[in-house]
């Protein structure tokens, strides 16, 4: 486990048949597209690579693999070891509205056979996508059905139950953020160290909730919830906040006439009678959202404490980097 | 008693009538602005077949009525008096993506009718569904429609009839901007509010101030400085952020106040800021005036956070004054 933690580059395959929605989700999460923009995307030719820096020492190495049959054929044959070696996560996208469920499953089975051959320890996230196209009363049933079927296929190919996760998604709501947040959480190398530092900070601030999110994507890396906030009825609030902040970023970009990707950090503070919510930078790539009781003096103290915490979090990155260096030498 | 229509009295709530050919977008506009229907979902609206009246609870009650296109002014089914006698504005929705000459003909007829019988009703033309046109073509269409309407009204001897034109689409902020202007003209409190906002802006070096109705996101008043759609947009989007965060983390106090109805927001100051650039020199400041109204200010360079005490103080004064304005 120690070794995995220190690994910096994590290879993530994004696969699924052509038109399933892979590039659409990638563009929304990582390239600041909004849902209606994705109609402009063309089919992906071969593999599109992107590197996304996360939390200082995590580098996502995302392979968006074009899903047309001829490309898939080549991933499974002449490019087989190149594609499937040292994979940390496979994200497989099913278009739930596809008329061709049978051959989608065949394609899936041959993909994970190759994955098991070269990266048997990898994790699989299955995204059952375009859920918005299903009638509301059938969503749960159709999703369950697909999950059972896919799980059986994975187990046939030698994966354990806990290596496979299922998420229902659509680009038209926050479900996409929920799924990707899980992927990121799985990949962040020092999640437990980060969490314990955040917990200390939360106690110091007497905060109700702390949410750590990545700045470019607004994906929630982790959160700390204390006391009564555990009863917050909005259990989907983390993905909602991702999507609120992402929208807000677009709005700021429009206002200042720059690209959304270039919108740098903005401080925000919302003060209500019952609570205070503020956002501030924590590390190079992350922001911290704080929810705490509302009063001016504790707010000022909180800002100072977050400032102090920044150093500690920055050190966390450095320590990890050193660890990696000493290992490679 | 033949012509009592001349004595339109703007008493009570603003009342707005929506007219226009079928499928022009009358229902869509109302549903998107006042009922928060998502623009894409307007595709599934059923045709309106009879006069449909709605009372909307915003900062003030706004009454709207939609007159379906088959009920023409000379139709015996259309009872003029109850509809027009207390109306403040007629909005004519003209679909630019359709053959609009027919719409202009019907519009002229309506304008003439109003001039003759209900001259105090404002006549507002929404040149609508503008999202389908290229930038250049948008402007040409706008000009052409305006020119035609003016020419025809002059020919008919109604050249002095005042008519306002707006380019609108439910897919962007333009529809909110247009509705804001239509509603503002119907508010007796407008001059008082504008005076207050102008004063605030000059004392605190505020670039732009809007008083928003949070529910509909139309602005009820703004100061006299030039209006830029992008300022309105960033404020309007920021209201969404505040409303959402308030909902997510305000559950606590809502449960405590279960039977009390609305939370007593009067005794706590609900305010919020967001910086617009990394230096923090420009930012948006929001402050709740009451349950419905929120003040949003775009702060330009020079009005740094350090001046916050001054701003807080003056906004406090403004808040009290506004509450007075609405008391009557
Ligand atoms: N209704 C709906 N449509 C979606 C959703 N996600 C993507 N789409 C649409 O699906 C189509 C295909 O999307 P892409 O992202 O290009 O598909 P892809 O998986 O990258 O395809 P290849 O690159 O050929 O493998 C686009 O027209 C999207 O608008 C969704 O959640 N709901
Ligand atoms: N492109 C575009 N379509 C619109 C706009 N407003 C309304 N529509 C569409 O026009 C159609 C007719 O709208 P509806 O409100 O039912 O018209 P009504 O008969 O005048 O009430 C619907 O399909 C709407 O989706 C707009 O601003 N732009
Ligand atoms: Mg693609």
Burial class (CB in 10 A: 0-12, 13-18, 19+), B81: exposed
Per-residue pLDDT tens over the stretch A102-138? 889 999 999 999 999 999 999 999 999 999 999 999 9
* From A135-149, A159-173, A242-256, the region with the lowest mean pLDDT: A242-256
Instruction: Check CB contact under 8 Å for A264 and B275.
Output: no
Instruction: Check CB contact under 8 Å for B249 and A264.
Output: no
Whether A70 has a pLDDT exceeding 60, the answer reads yes
Domain boundary, last residue among B184, B212, B228: B184
Per-residue pLDDT tens over the stretch A268-279? 989 988 899 999
Tell me which residue has its CA closest to atom 23 in ligand 2. Answer: B43
Choose from A246, A265, A268, A300 for mutation: most chain B CBs within 10 A. Answer: A268
Instruction: Check CB contact under 8 Å for A247 and B278.
Output: no
Give the pLDDT of residue B76.
Answer: 78
Q: Please name the residues in contact with A328: beta carbons below 8 A apart, sequence gap of 6 or more.
A: none
Whether A95 has a pLDDT exceeding 90, the answer reads yes
ipTM: 0.80
Q: How far is the CA of B323 from the centre of ligand 1 (A)?
A: 51
Q: How far is the CA of A181 from the centre of ligand 3 (A)?
A: 21
B40 pocket-lining for ligand 2 (C-beta < 6 Å)? no
Q: How far apart are CA A177 and CA A25, in angstroms?
A: 10
Tell me which residue has its CA closest to atom 19 in ligand 2. Answer: B23
Is residue B5 very low, low, confident or very high in pLDDT (cuts 50, 70, 90)? very low
Is residue B205 very low, low, confident or very high in pLDDT (cuts 50, 70, 90)? confident
Is B231 found in the same domain as B95?
Answer: no
* From A17-26, B82-91, B213-222, B281-290, the region with the lowest mean pLDDT: B281-290
Give the pLDDT of residue A24.
Answer: 93
B43 pocket-lining for ligand 2 (C-beta < 6 Å)? yes
B313 is in which domain, residue-wise? 190-327
Q: How far apart are CA A217 and CA A227, in angstroms?
A: 29
Nearest chain B residue to A277 by CA distance is B245
Give the pLDDT of residue B27.
Answer: 95
Give the pLDDT of residue B3.
Answer: 36
Whether A316 has a pLDDT exceeding 70, the answer reads no
Per-residue pLDDT tens over the stretch B58-114? 888 899 999 998 888 887 778 888 889 889 999 999 999 988 899 999 999 999 999
Give the pLDDT of residue B228.
Answer: 84
Domain boundary, last residue among B154, B184, B214: B184
Residue A297, min C-alpha distance to chain B (Å) = 15
Of the ranges A182-191, B171-180, B244-253, which is most confident?
B171-180
Task: State the average pLDDT over residues A299-316.
Answer: 83
Question: Greater confidence, A65 or A284?
Answer: A65
At A30, is the secondary structure helix, strand, or coil? helix
Is B204 found in the same domain as B171?
Answer: no
Nearest chain B residue to A255 by CA distance is B230
Is B165 found in the same domain as B53?
Answer: yes
* From B14-23, B222-231, B280-289, the region with the lowest mean pLDDT: B280-289
Task: State the average pLDDT over residues B118-142.
Answer: 92
The owner of tokens 């005794």 is B267
What's the full length of chain A, in residues?
329
Is residue A179 very low, low, confident or very high in pLDDT (cuts 50, 70, 90)? very high
Is B138 found in the same domain as B200?
Answer: no
Q: How far apart are CA A271 and CA A291, in angstroms?
A: 10
A-chain CB neighbours of B210 within 8 Å are: none
Tell me which residue has its CA closest to atom 11 in ligand 1. Answer: A19
Q: How far apart are CA B206 and CA B284, in angstroms?
A: 10
Give the pLDDT of residue B256.
Answer: 58
Express as a percent the part of chain A with pLDDT over 70: 90
The owner of tokens 């305000």 is B250
Give the pLDDT of residue B49.
Answer: 85
Three-state helix/strand/coil letters over A32-46 = CCCHHHHHHCCCCCC
CATH code for the domain of B64: 3.40.50.300
Q: Which helix (H) or strand (E) holds B206?
A: strand B206-213
Residue A139, min C-alpha distance to chain B (Å) = 20
Give the pLDDT of residue A1.
Answer: 43
B27 pocket-lining for ligand 2 (C-beta < 6 Å)? yes
Q: How far apart are CA B201 and CA B223, in angstroms?
A: 7
Is B226 found in the same domain as B105?
Answer: no
Domain boundary, last residue among B143, B159, B184: B184
As given in the structure block, the two tokens for residue A179 are: 């799924």
Whether A180 has a pLDDT exceeding 80, the answer reads yes
As given in the structure block, the two tokens for residue A210 are: 């702390």
Q: Of A95, A113, A112, which is closest to residue A104 (Cα–Cα)? A: A95
Is B154 found in the same domain as B276?
Answer: no
Q: How far apart are CA A303 and CA A201, in angstroms?
A: 11
At A129, is the secondary structure helix, strand, or coil? strand
Is B222 found in the same domain as B165?
Answer: no
How many Cβ pairs within 8 Å bridge chains A and B? 93
Give the pLDDT of residue B276.
Answer: 75
Is B243 found in the same domain as B179?
Answer: no
Residue A236, min C-alpha distance to chain B (Å) = 10
Is B113 found in the same domain as B67?
Answer: yes
Give the pLDDT of residue B262.
Answer: 44
Is B282 found in the same domain as B300?
Answer: yes
Instruction: Check CB contact under 8 Å for A247 and B272.
Output: no
Give the pLDDT of residue B257.
Answer: 55
Of A240, A269, A272, the CB nearest to B250: A272
CATH code for the domain of B224: 3.30.450.190
Q: Do residues B244 and A240 touch, judged by C-beta distance below 8 A?
A: yes
Nearest chain A residue to B231 by CA distance is A255
Residue B61, min C-alpha distance to chain A (Å) = 26
Q: How far apart are CA A272 and CA B38, in angstroms?
A: 28
The answer, for A35 touching chain B at a CB cutoff of 8 Å, is no
Whether A72 has a pLDDT exceeding 90, the answer reads yes
Provide the 8-state DSSP code for A261.
G
Give the pLDDT of residue B251.
Answer: 85
Listing from the earlier edge strand, what are the strands of the sheet with B283-288? A220-225, A209-214, A286-292, A276-281, A268-271, B271-275, B283-288, B293-299, B206-213, B219-222
How many distinct structural domains can be found in chain B?
2
Is residue A3 very low, low, confident or very high in pLDDT (cuts 50, 70, 90)? very low
B-chain CB neighbours of A291 within 8 Å are: 249
Task: State the average pLDDT over residues B194-201.
Answer: 92
B-chain CB neighbours of A241 within 8 Å are: 245, 248
Give the pLDDT of residue A328.
Answer: 35
Binding-face residues of A in 192-251 toward B, CB within 8 A: 208-209, 228, 232-234, 237, 240-241, 244, 247-248, 251
Task: State the average pLDDT over residues B125-153.
Answer: 93
Q: Which helix (H) or strand (E) holds A276?
A: strand A276-281
Is B62 found in the same domain as B32?
Answer: yes
Whether B22 has a pLDDT exceeding 60, the answer reads yes
Name all domains of chain A by residue range, CATH numbers in brackets.
2-187 (3.40.50.300), 191-328 (3.30.450.190)
Q: Of B114, B118, B106, which is closest to residue B24 (Cα–Cα)? A: B106
Give the pLDDT of residue B129.
Answer: 95
Listing from the earlier edge strand, what are the strands of the sheet with B163-168? B52-57, B61-66, B15-19, B89-95, B122-128, B163-168
Is residue B4 very low, low, confident or very high in pLDDT (cuts 50, 70, 90)? very low
Give the pLDDT of residue A317.
Answer: 60
Whether A308 has a pLDDT exceeding 90, the answer reads no
Whether B294 has a pLDDT exceeding 80, the answer reads yes
Is B286 found in the same domain as B179?
Answer: no
Give the pLDDT of residue A163.
Answer: 95
Give the pLDDT of residue A325.
Answer: 42
Task: State the average pLDDT over residues B178-199.
Answer: 93
Whether B17 has a pLDDT exceeding 90, the answer reads yes
Residue A265, min C-alpha distance to chain B (Å) = 6
- If you compute the radius of gyration of chain B from its CA atoms, what whole number of angstroms results? 21
Is residue A85 very low, low, confident or very high in pLDDT (cuts 50, 70, 90)? very high
Please state, rounded to an integer, the average pLDDT across all residues of chain A.
Answer: 86
B168 pairs with which residues across the strands? B128
Per-residue pLDDT tens over the stretch B29-69? 999 999 989 898 898 898 888 888 888 888 888 999 999 98
Whether B143 has a pLDDT exceeding 70, the answer reads yes
Beta strands A123-129 and A164-168 are parallel
Q: How far is the CA of A168 from the centre of ligand 1 (A)?
A: 15
Give the pLDDT of residue A188.
Answer: 82
* From A255-269, A304-318, B198-212, the region with the lowest mean pLDDT: A255-269
């Amino acid at each position: 486990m120690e070794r995995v933690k220190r690994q910096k580059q994590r290879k993530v395959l994004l696969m699924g048949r052509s038109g399933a929605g892979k590039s659409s989700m990638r563009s929304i999460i990582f390239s600041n597209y909004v849902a209606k923009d994705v109609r402009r995307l063309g089919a992906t030719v071969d593999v599109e690579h992107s590197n996304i820096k996360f939390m200082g020492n995590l580098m996502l190495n995302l392979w968006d693999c074009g899903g047309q049959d001829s490309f898939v054929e080549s991933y499974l044959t002449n490019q087989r070891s190149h594609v499937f070696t040292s994979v940390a996560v496979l994200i497989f996208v099913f278009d739930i509205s596809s008329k061709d469920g049978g051959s989608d499953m065949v394609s899936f089975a041959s993909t994970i056979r190759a994955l098991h051959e070269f990266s048997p320890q990898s994790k699989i996230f299955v995204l059952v996508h375009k859920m918005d196209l299903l009638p509301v009363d059938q969503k749960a049933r159709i999703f369950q059905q697909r999950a059972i079927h896919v799980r059986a296929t994975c187990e046939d190919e030698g994966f354990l139950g806990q290596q496979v996760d299922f998420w229902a998604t659509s680009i038209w709501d926050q479900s996409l953020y929920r799924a990707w947040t899980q992927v990121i959480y799985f990949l962040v190398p020092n999640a437990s160290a980060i969490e314990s530092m955040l917990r200390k900070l939360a106690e110091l601030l007497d905060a109700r909730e702390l949410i750590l999110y990545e700045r470019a994507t607004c994906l929630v890396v982790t959160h700390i919830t204390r006391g009564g906030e555990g009863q917050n009825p909005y259990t989907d609030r983390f993905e909602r906040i991702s999507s609120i902040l992402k929208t807000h970023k677009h709005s700021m970009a429009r206002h200042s006439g720059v690209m959304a990707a270039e919108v740098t950090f903005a401080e925000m503070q919302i003060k209500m009678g019952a609570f205070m919510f503020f956002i501030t930078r924590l590390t190079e790539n992350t922001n911290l959202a704080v929810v705490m009781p509302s009063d001016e003096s504790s707010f000022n103290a909180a800002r100072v404490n977050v400032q102090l915490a920044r150093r500690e979090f920055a050190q966390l990155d450095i320590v990890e980097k050193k660890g990696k260096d000493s290992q490679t030498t | 008693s033949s012509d009592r229509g001349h004595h339109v009295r703007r008493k009570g709530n603003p009342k707005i009538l929506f007219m226009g050919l079928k499928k022009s977008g009358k229902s869509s506009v109302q549903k998107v602005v006042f009922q928060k229907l998502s623009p894409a979902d307007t595709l599934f609206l059923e045709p309106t077949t009879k006069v449909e009246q709605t009372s909307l609870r915003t900062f003030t009650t706004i009454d709207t009525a939609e007159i379906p296109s088959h009920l023409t002014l000379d139709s015996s089914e259309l009872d003029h008096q109850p509809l027009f006698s207390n109306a403040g504005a007629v909005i004519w929705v003209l679909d630019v993506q359709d053959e609009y000459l027919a719409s202009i003909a019907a519009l002229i007829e309506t304008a003439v009718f109003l001039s003759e019988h209900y001259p105090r009703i404002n006549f507002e033309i929404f040149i609508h569904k503008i999202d389908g046109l290229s930038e250049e073509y948008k402007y040409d269409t706008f000009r052409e429609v305006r020119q035609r309407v003016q020419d025809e009204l002059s020919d008919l001897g109604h050249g002095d009839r005042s008519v306002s034109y707006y380019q609108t689409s439910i897919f962007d902020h333009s529809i909110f901007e247009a509705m804001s202007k239509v509603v503002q003209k119907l508010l007796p409190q407008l001059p008082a509010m504008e005076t207050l906002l102008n004063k605030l802006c000059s004392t605190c070096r505020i670039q732009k101030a809007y008083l928003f109705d949070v529910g509909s996101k139309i602005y009820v008043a703004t100061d006299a400085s030039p209006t830029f759609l992008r300022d309105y947009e960033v404020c309007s989007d920021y209201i969404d952020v505040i409303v959402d965060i308030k909902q997510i983390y305000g559950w606590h106090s809502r449960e405590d106040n279960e039977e009390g109805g609305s939370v007593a927001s009067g005794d706590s100051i609900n305010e919020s800021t967001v910086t617009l650039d990394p230096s923090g020199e420009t930012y948006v400041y929001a402050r709740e005036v009451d349950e419905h109204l929120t003040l949003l200010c775009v702060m330009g360079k020079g009005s740094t956070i350090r001046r916050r005490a001054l701003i807080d103080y003056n906004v406090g004064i403004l808040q009290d004054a506004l509450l007075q304005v609405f008391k009557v």
